[in-house]
Structure 1
Amino acid sequence: MSVREQVIRLVSNEGCGVLPAEEIHEQRSLLEIGFDSLRYMELVVLLEETFHITFPDEMLEISAETNVSEIIRAVESAHV
């Protein structure tokens, strides 16, 4: 399973999200797909545990612009 597929799985209702994986589109913001700050921190913990990484400090707070593709890129960068 690719990093992209794993991240989408964790963002979906299989992880800590609310939508099924097939409804997760990379350009949608996390707020649009049902995340709030608490759910986002759950995601950060899941990503760190799953990929054995430390999530970048600059991405530890969710913003209105935070989208799925940014999460994928951050994980790919940290998971080298």
Structure 2
Amino acid sequence: MSVKKQVCVLLSDQGCGVLPVDEIGEDMGLFEIGFDSLRYMEFIVLLEEHYGIQWPDDALEISSATKVKDMIGVLEGCL
């Protein structure tokens, strides 16, 4: 599974999110898809466990500007 697809799955109701995976686009904001700081940290834990990585400290904050494509980019940088 591609990094983009895996991120969308983990952000969806199949992971720790609320929306079906087919409703999540990479240009959507995390707040827009139902995330808050707690749900975001759950997502980070899932990514770290799934990929065996350490998420960068400078990417641990969520803001209204944080988009799905940003998460994909950070993850690709960790791999």
TM-score interval (norm. to shorter) = over 0.9
The CA distance in 2 between the partners of 1:56 and 1:74, in whole Å, is 8
Give the distance between the partners of 1:31 and 1:59, measured in 2 at CA: 16
Q: Cα deviation per residue 1:14-41 (whole Å; 9 max; x = unaligned)?
A: 0000000000010111000000000000
* 1:39 aligned partner: 39
Question: What corresponds to 2:20 in structure 1?
Answer: 20
| Cα distance in 1, alignment partners of residues 28 and 2 from structure 2 | 20
Q: Secondary structure at the match of 2:55?
A: coil
Number of residue equivalences = 79
Moved over 4 A (4+): none
Structure 2 length-normalised TM: 0.97
Q: Which amino acid aligns with 2:28?
A: R
Q: Return the TM-score normalized by structure 1.
A: 0.96
Q: Equivalent residue for 1:48?
A: 48
- Segments of 5+ residues of structure 1 without an aligned counterpart are none
Structure 2: runs of 5 or more not aligned:
none
Amino acid at match of 1:26: E
